[in-house]
Amino acid sequence: MSRTVELTRFRVSPERADLLPAARERMIADFRADRTGFLGARLVRLPGDEWLDIVEWRSSEDFAASRAKGANLPGIAAFFALIDELVSAEEGTTDESES
């Protein structure tokens, strides 16, 4: 069984980076409450004020439905507001038979 993976790389200014973890918690809570097929997420800090957001979805359709909703809840909007620049956004799939 495969899952859809959302890979989003973005920049946040150093002055606002400390706000990201709390905003992230609120965004994840909103996703759990409002996004069908949301399975989990990891946020990775990279060099150069960049971050990589790895979000797992049950299906590509669930991911598309979430994208269509956008920043419809306050926690999601607050997290997105901290992003200064979108570097890249990709969608992929996992092979759950891999160990």
The pLDDT score that the predictor gives to residue 98 is 52
The reply to whether 67 falls in a domain is yes
The reply to whether 49 falls in a domain is yes
The reply to whether 99 falls in a domain is no
49: helix, coil or strand? coil
The reply to whether 31 falls in a domain is yes
Give, in order, the Cα–Cα distances in Å from 31 to each of 24, 26, 47, 54, 98: 10, 9, 27, 14, 27
52: helix, coil or strand? strand
CATH number of the domain encompassing residue 30: 3.30.70.100
> Model-level pTM?
0.91
Inter-residue contact 34 to 79 (CB < 8 Å): no
The reply to whether 96 falls in a domain is no
- Report whether pLDDT(99) > 60: no
Domain that holds residue 46: 4-91
Tally of domains in the chain = 1
End-to-end CA distance of the chain: 13
The pLDDT score that the predictor gives to residue 97 is 60
Q: What is the pLDDT of residues 28-81, one digit of tens each?
A: 999 999 999 999 999 999 999 999 999 999 999 999 999 999 999 999 999 999
The reply to whether 98 falls in a domain is no
Q: What is the pLDDT of residues 7-21, one digit of tens each?
A: 999 999 999 999 999
